[in-house]
Structure 1
Amino acid sequence: MHIIASLSLTAGLIVAVISAPNDLLPALADRPLIPKVAPIPTVGPGLTRLLPPVYFCGESVPLHEEAVARRLVTALVRNTTQNQALYLIRQRAAVFFPVIEPILARHHIPMDFKYLPLVESALTGMAVSPKGAVGYWQFMPATARELGLSIEPGNDERKNLIKSTNAACRYLRWLHTQLGSWTLAAAAYNNGIGALLSNIRRQQQRDYYYLHLNAETGKYLYRILAFKELFSNSGAYQHLIPEQMMAYLSEPLNPDAEPDEGQMLLPEVILDEATQVAVNTTADEVLNPVPGRPEDIPLPNAADVFREGIKARLTAAGDVQRGKIWVFHLTRNGMADGREVEEGDILYAVVEDIDAKTGKVYLRADKLYSTSEKYTYNLSLSAIDASTGRIGIKLPDVNQVKEGWILTWKAL
């Protein structure tokens, strides 16, 4: 769910001094020009003794391990090479955190997760990733619908700060229930619970800091920690943070100020209407909704939706008639009815029934073709409504179906 808009969050493990380039960032109006990139200190074994204790959601970060200390320092230093961008993100956090924090508290989610959307979107509601994830918390369309968010023309609730934060909390709570660790929940938020569980099983290791993960997920938690430490405990890192960046971190904030064009490093210039509503909503209103206002859609079937569910993309559709065959390709690795399945495997689905009274069509797949094994397995799956976890797809959705449509499938 990582996006290009996260300007200060670039990958790479830096272990040597890098000289500052000659180009300069535009400065704040009352500041002289300062170097864009500050020298990055050499990371050595003795550095672990210079770092303060760091915690994520009450779990201690094992900074006595040199590799862990190196990754955290790298994330910290990478952030401090983007002075202007970091100041603008800090300014946005000052506006949005008072909205996010009471929602986290309402769902009993640790406050450290308020830094997650900084990594995902730089707290930009209009942010869109190359893969199609949208909003502050960077939800893909199918996941957003599973979590009760509406995605309609002119009304994409992924861009609504309050509704998307409630949805993110429900998802994080479910991930924690399944994994038993907030660090693992954060990793699964980035890479999906299926991929994470696959790594845990293969490596026989449940500690995030000792798992070998893909490059993005392996650095993901450190990026969250970097924002937390820079925004809440920067004084403990004076030996690592350049003096000019320390000045930016202590710069008085003016949330009402509009940055001029030269200062705007983030892609969103004007907040959309949903964001304006979110910012103007008081904490009391978030915790105690106005009577008559619809509550966020609960997910009583969340475990049913996610557990043993797989995604498949339509590649060939027949008519909406009983007995017609539709062909789907799995979009990612996962588990189905206790069997490991892989991205690209093929489902041959039949239109089992059409219920004119409820306006739903029922799709069933009895076989799955494994593209890697060149073998067809007997596997009974049904298409489910991702927003409810129940079988049956609404006919209006089917009438608009075309190649690329993704459905959720589950063994029942």
Structure 2
Amino acid sequence: MNLLASLSLATGLVVTSVSDLTCLFHTPSARSLTPYPTVSVAVDPGLTRMLPPVYFCGESVPLHEEAVARRLVSALARNTNQNQAVYRIRQRAAVFFPIIEPILSRHRIPLDFKYLPLVESALTGMAVSPKGAVGYWQFMPATARELGLSIQPGYDERQNLVKSTNAACRYLRYLYNRLGSWTLAAAAYNNGIGALLGNIRRQQQRDYYYLRLNAETGKYLYRILAFKELFSNYRSYDHLIPERMMAYLSEPLSPDSDPDDEGVLLPEVLMEEATKVAVNTPVQETLKPAAGQTADIPLPNAADVFRGGIKARLIESAGVERGQVWVFHLIRDGMADGKQVEEGDVLYAIVEDVDPKTDKIYLRADRLYSANEKHTYPMNLSAIDASTGRIGIKLPDVDQIKAGWILTWKTL
């Protein structure tokens, strides 16, 4: 059963026609001012309640708006029609994300932007658009040169993973500094800052979700969000995602297996030597635990759980500034704020403070999404030091925070 059929049964969503659902890869040339693909739907108000809270770079996605919820579901539908392609992109991401993430962190770009090249190029270094954009981040020649990349016969740094990612970070930082919003920065990356500022001035609106944009830019952020949710939070959508796609998303990655002709992980014969070096050589900025420190805080014993503490693993950290939203997945059943919670539930936490004097970061969870009940509950938990029971997590360097950290949470 496909995603839209599942929605029809689960929420009363009646779909009469949906076009362009098979387009998985980004085509930079398709930047026309045509309307969105025709989607004639009658949406049950329960649809917005069935979706978990979603954030982009710490900014809340307004899924209470029917149009926003529908566009996210539509973006999920496009990807869930491409089972094997999504699995191959997962394989590429497993190779490239450990290289991309520390570069984003060094430039203080939110890690959610690691999903942008999935939309731009399906993480393929040799990708070329009809208009001439090249590489993982799909830079046009003029933009690439302005960002310091060399383009010469036989050597194009747009195809070098490390150099092009550093260039993309410089560009994203420039866009953010001009626009003051990561969602608008993503839109400007797709459509150009001049065109976006023109839309903002004409419409007197600075919220991406309420701007009237061309078809591609209007869908662009949702396509990034779809990859983020499918790769980091797919279990929260098991009532929407077809069983076959769930199997591909949960299947262990096996890059050493023999793929079919269309499933080659990386076109090694065509890749530039610099890119191959980037894939196989650790980047100097790669985030590593300090000497004597493990990447994960040890798991609790059963007594910790019965005393009211729960454990959750960090999935996404938007940044270390106050007010940023971090996403955790519970790693075992337990009790939290007087409620029975289960492994796989999603905990949304706010960075309350970062104290450089004591090297501590203070996190407070204000809501929990139950993956089983498909419902968001208010929550009041604080992250504590498992060794002392006190609030605040002591870190030698807050920049070392990364996906995989396990924290203890309690009601205080």
Q: Given the two structures, how large is their TM-score scaled by the length of structure 2?
A: 0.59
* 1:116-164 CA-partner distances (Å, limit 9, x unpaired): 0000000000000000000000000000000000001111000000000
Give, as a single letter, the amino acid of the residue that structure 2 aligns with 1:7: L
Query: For 1:82 and 1:49, how far apart are their aligned partners in 2?
Result: 26
- Structure 2 partner of 1:12: 37
Name the CA distance, whole Å, in 2 between partners of 1:74 and 1:266: 28
Matched residue type, 1:124: T
Structure 2 residue aligned with 1:127: 127
SS in structure 2 at match of 1:253: coil
1:278 is displaced (CA, Å) by: 1.1
Cα distance in 1 between the residues matched to 2:268 and 2:85: 13
Q: Where do 5+ consecutive residues of structure 1 fail to align?
A: 17-41, 289-412
Are residues 1:152 and 2:152 paired? Answer: yes
Cα deviation per residue 1:88-142 (whole Å; 9 max; x = unaligned)? 0011000000000000000000000000000000000000000000000000000
Q: 1:273 to 1:149 in 2, by over 3 A?
A: same
User: How far, CA to CA, are the matches of 1:259 and 1:270 in structure 2?
Assistant: 17
Contact 1:160 1:278 in 2 (8 A): yes
Residue number in structure 2 paired with 1:260: 260
In structure 2, the residue matched to 1:49 is: 49
Superposition CA RMSD, Å = 2.3
Kept in 2, the 8 Å contact 1:99–1:281? The answer is no
Which of the pair has the greater relative contact order for Cα pairs under 8 Å at 6+ separation? 2
- Which residue type is aligned with residue 136 of structure 1? Y
On the 8 A contact 1:77/1:240 being kept in 2, the answer is no
Length, aligned pairs only: 259
| Kept in 2: contact 1:9–1:79 (CA 8 A) | no
Find the residue that maps to 1:284 and give its secondary structure: coil
Residue 171 in structure 1 maps to residue 162 in structure 2: no
Partner of 1:240: 240
Match of 2:142 in 1: 142
4+ residue segments displaced more than 6 Å = 265-269
**Is the contact made by 2:205 and 2:211 (CA closer than 8 Å) also made in structure 1?**
yes
Q: CA deviation digits over 1:17-76, x for unaligned, max 9?
A: xxxxxxxxxxxxxxxxxxxxxxxxx75332001000000000000000000000000001
Q: 1:134 touches 1:158 (CA, 8 Å); kept in 2?
A: yes
Match status 1:183 vs 2:183: yes
Q: Confirm or deny: 8 A CA contact 2:24 2:78 kept in the other structure.
A: no
How far apart in 1 are the matches of 2:166 and 2:248? 31
SS of structure 1 residue aligned to 2:261: coil
Pair 1:77–1:268, CA change in 2 (3 A):
farther
* Residue 258 of structure 1: how far off its partner (Å): 4.9
Query: CA, structure 1 residues 140+78, in 2 after alignment: closer, same or farther (shift >3 Å)?
Result: same
1:201 partner letter: R
2: CA distance, partners of 1:137 / 1:275: 13
Using structure 1 for the length normalisation, give the TM-score: 0.59
Change (3 A) 1:141 1:64: same
Structure 1 or 2, whichever has the larger Rg, is 1
Contact kept, 8 Å, 1:8 with 1:85, in 2: the verdict is no
Unaligned runs of 5+ in 2: 1-21, 28-35, 289-412
Residues 103, 285 of structure 2: 8 Å contact kept: no
